[in-house]
Amino acid sequence: DAGITQSPRHKVTETGTPVTLRCHQTENHRYMYWYRQDPGHGLRLIHYSYGVKDTDKGEVSDGYSVSRSKTEDFLLTLESATSSQTSVYFCAISKEQNTEAFFGQGTRLTVV
């Protein structure tokens, strides 16, 4: 894997609680992305970052926020987790926008 670490790898949380997922890269790539993967939907973009403190929404951003205070770290926060946010979350990085991306191992989140 291209120097991307996601943590935690698995998490179970209760409805209404805040949850933060972390993505850490050692490649110094400018672009970072958070996707969710659900059966039958492929990968859907939640938020992405094009630099430190520069972020933008993807197609399924409602209920999520992100922060990037350092080049290497991109955090995804579920402000108040709901059962519809049960999913597998992937972080990805790329040198240029929407080019070949390298993905982390994923975080399986279950909201009960």
Interface with another protein (CB under 8 A): 1, 4, 40-45, 90, 92, 96-106
Distance CA 60, CA 52 (A): 22
- Comparing CB distances to another protein, the nearer of 42 and 53 is 42
**Pairing mode, strands 107-111 and 10-13:** parallel
User: Smallest distance, Å, CB 100 to another protein?
Assistant: 5
User: Smallest distance, Å, CB 25 to another protein?
Assistant: 13
Distance CA 22, CA 74 (A): 6
Element (H, E) at 68: strand 64-70
> Scanning the structure block, which residue is given the tokens 């009960």?
112
- Comparing CB distances to another protein, the nearer of 28 and 98 is 98
- Comparing CB distances to another protein, the nearer of 56 and 79 is 56
- Comparing CB distances to another protein, the nearer of 24 and 44 is 44
Distance CA 32, CA 74 (A): 7
User: Smallest distance, Å, CB 45 to another protein?
Assistant: 7
3-state secondary structure of 83: helix
User: Smallest distance, Å, CB 85 to another protein?
Assistant: 19
